[in-house]
Amino acid sequence: MMNQEWWRGAVIYQVYPRSFFDSNNDGIGDLPGVTQKMSYIASLGVDAIWLSPFFTSPMKDFGYDVSDYCDVDPIFGTLEDFDELIESAHHHGLKVMIDQVLNHSSDQHPWFVESRSSHDNGKADWYIWADANPDGTVPNNWLSVFGGPAWHWDSRRRQYYLHNFLDSQPDLNFHNPDVVDALLDTVEFWLKRGVDGFRLDTANYYYHDIELRNNPPKKEVVEGSIGVRLDNPYAYQLHIYDKSRPENIGFLQRLRSLLDKYPNTTTVGEVGCDFALETMAAYTQGKDKLHMCYSFDLLTHDASMTHIRNTMETIEAGLGDGWPCWSIGNHDVERVVTRWGNNHDAIAKSKIYMAMLLTLRGSVCLYQGEELGLPEAELTFDQLVDPFGIAFWPEFKGRDGCRTPIPWKNDIMGGFTQSTEAWLPIADSQRPLAVQEQEDNRHSVLHAYRDFLHVRRSHPELRHGDIEFLYNDETTLTFLRRDQDKCLYVGINTTNQDIILPVEFTLSALTLPEAIHSGYIDGNTVVLPPYSILLAKVTP
């Protein structure tokens, strides 16, 4: 953790502040609440935390619509509260990464307020403006992830502006060097306050095709990228002109140059596009762009081990000296126990999915509540606050179900707040899985996470080693992790049936903690009981 590549193989715990812990009893989680629970985060054995946005915002998209990049929204606290959070995290041996939402701002940001006021003001081209077609229609066929055209008519300028997400989130014009300079200044503001890195929201969206050419139709529509759902028209275009443009590379290089002035800092970029794995490789190769990227390839509904292996081998084939970061859950997708496990055998599946993720090659992002095995919260339409879910209900219920408050205690408000109402309801299905309940159960998902994170820390093969896949079917996966002269065999069974596999190696099984269901070696075979993992040293 003392070297400048602490991020390589690190485990990063994502905190969604609104739902972590409410310190002032207004029903909304805040930065002092995160600080109060810092010892809990440190107890998990993770290396860093990633804070979802806490900047000043009208909260149309819950912080991903920033109106001041250099201040804390009052609902979350103050800059002084943020400084105390940084100090506490560092005291606990944790790095702090924060979300940077650079692609777009809020329409209430002073930059946009000035930009929309006229055609000739000082920030007139800080956003992406275009004239209507002769018949008044939108400039091209680009679509918003949140539904409908990606263009919104502004009566002040009598032009359309581009928004890849909500129409209250206008896209910044990265083709303007003044915009790039201003955004990098905001990044440096937080570097000077002591942050250790950034998670870059929609990192491949920054540049658009300056000619505004139409996107072609997609020949094969599959789930995968941001917004790619078969009930969303966004899925039916090949997005080659509205994002993932070649000019993006130059900006990432400037960003890296800035971070290189601040030792021990890092970046992880969110990449959602039609060629996500190739883009991940391009953005992390050469040590002059991003340190890490993650895609949505493991955030889909495909939990097959064939998909896991294909994803890993595809990125490995093109990665070169780049580095991936993987997650199976975050604030934008259905919780993994529900998405992959259909809420059946939830405790056992939570443990084995965790073990799989933590043995793959790359860094890891864990989303708050995964360590508790939380299922997706079921909300009624009148309880929704997510504009994405409201727009696509009932086929898509939005992101509120994965954002409900963390249950710390098994009581009516989950120990999250002393208010009588939280910003999202405390899910009845989640309260029995509260932290306090699991602390007292040595076989709980929480203890399994802590134990396995300790195992990962003690084996450099799992943090830094190469990976070689051996066998898979839809539910079983085996591979090797090598680091210098050390080699581990990993066998994973995601079913409720015994799996018996022949092996050609001399293996010595590691003793795993009791919270983790372990496989074993029987002569020249590996036996994987239901929902188990085998870690074994390979003898040369």
**Mean pLDDT in runs of 10 for the chain (540 residues)?**
77 98 98 98 98 98 97 98 98 98 98 98 98 98 95 98 97 98 98 98 98 94 61 90 98 98 97 92 96 93 96 94 96 95 93 98 98 97 94 91 98 97 96 97 97 96 96 98 95 97 95 96 96 95
How far is Cα 102 from Cα 273, in angstroms, rounded to an integer?
17
Query: Residue 182 carries which side chain, given as an amino acid letter?
Result: A
Here the tokens at position 19 are 């739902």
Residue 328: CB atoms within 10 Å: 23
- Helix axes 248-259 and 177-192, enclosed angle (nearest 10): 30
Residue-wise DSSP of 217-241:
BPSS--S-STT--TTSGGGGB--SS
Domain ranges of the chain: 11-103+177-454, 466-539
Asked if 131 and 157 count as a contact pair (C-beta separation under 8 A), the reply is: no
**Order of strands, edge to edge, in the sheet holding 466-472?**
466-472, 476-483, 486-493, 532-539, 506-509
Here the tokens at position 331 are 């604030």
Q: Which of 270, 297, 400, 451 is catalytic?
A: 270
End-to-end Cα distance, the chain: 30
Q: Which of 30, 107, 154, 201 is catalytic?
A: 201
Opening angle at CA 41, ends 19 and 479, nearest 5: 105
How far is Cα 141 from Cα 237, in angstroms, rounded to an integer?
9
The DSSP code for 509 is: E
Q: Is residue 534 within a helix (H) or strand (E), and if so which, with residue range?
A: strand 532-539
Identify any residues that bridge with 534 across adjacent strands, giving them in sequence order. Answer: 491
Residue 8: predicted pLDDT: 96
Residue 315: CB atoms within 10 Å: 23
Residue 169: CB atoms within 10 Å: 24
Of the candidates 246, 241, 257, 256, the one whose C-alpha atom is nearest the C-alpha of residue 293 is 256
How far is Cα 355 from Cα 448, in angstroms, rounded to an integer?
9
Here the tokens at position 535 are 């870690």
Residue 233: CB atoms within 10 Å: 14
Here the tokens at position 466 are 């190469």
Of the candidates 250, 248, 239, 236, the one whose C-alpha atom is nearest the C-alpha of residue 213 is 239
- Fold assignment, 11-103+177-454: TIM Barrel (3.20.20)
Of the candidates 363, 351, 540, 388, the one whose C-alpha atom is nearest the C-alpha of residue 464 is 363
Of the candidates 15, 20, 14, the one whose C-alpha atom is nearest the C-alpha of residue 423 is 20
Residues 6+ apart with CB under 8 A from 33: 17, 20, 21, 22, 23
How far is Cα 177 from Cα 44, in angstroms, rounded to an integer?
43
Opening angle at CA 184, ends 182 and 189, nearest 5: 95
Residue 226: predicted pLDDT: 57
* Beta-strand runs (E) in 324-373: 325-326, 363-367
How far is Cα 489 from Cα 506, in angstroms, rounded to an integer?
10
Residues 6+ apart with CB under 8 A from 161: 116, 127, 128, 129, 130, 151, 152, 154, 170, 171
Query: Residue 281 carries which side chain, given as an amino acid letter?
Result: A
Of the candidates 514, 466, 473, 465, the one whose C-alpha atom is nearest the C-alpha of residue 491 is 473
- Let me know if 270 is a catalytic residue: yes
Residue 22: CB atoms within 10 Å: 25
Asked if 95 and 197 count as a contact pair (C-beta separation under 8 A), the reply is: yes
- Fold assignment, 466-539: Immunoglobulin-like (2.60.40)
How far is Cα 341 from Cα 308, in angstroms, rounded to an integer?
15
Identify any residues that bridge with 493 across adjacent strands, giving them in sequence order. Answer: 476, 532
Q: How far is CA 102 from CA 71, 125, 170, 174, 417, in A?
A: 15, 16, 11, 10, 32
How many Cα atoms sit within 13 Å of 236 on the Cβ side? 8
Q: Computed from CA positions of residues 302, 305, 311, 314, in that sequence, does the dihedral angle turn out positive or negative?
A: negative
How far is Cα 393 from Cα 380, in angstroms, rounded to an integer?
10
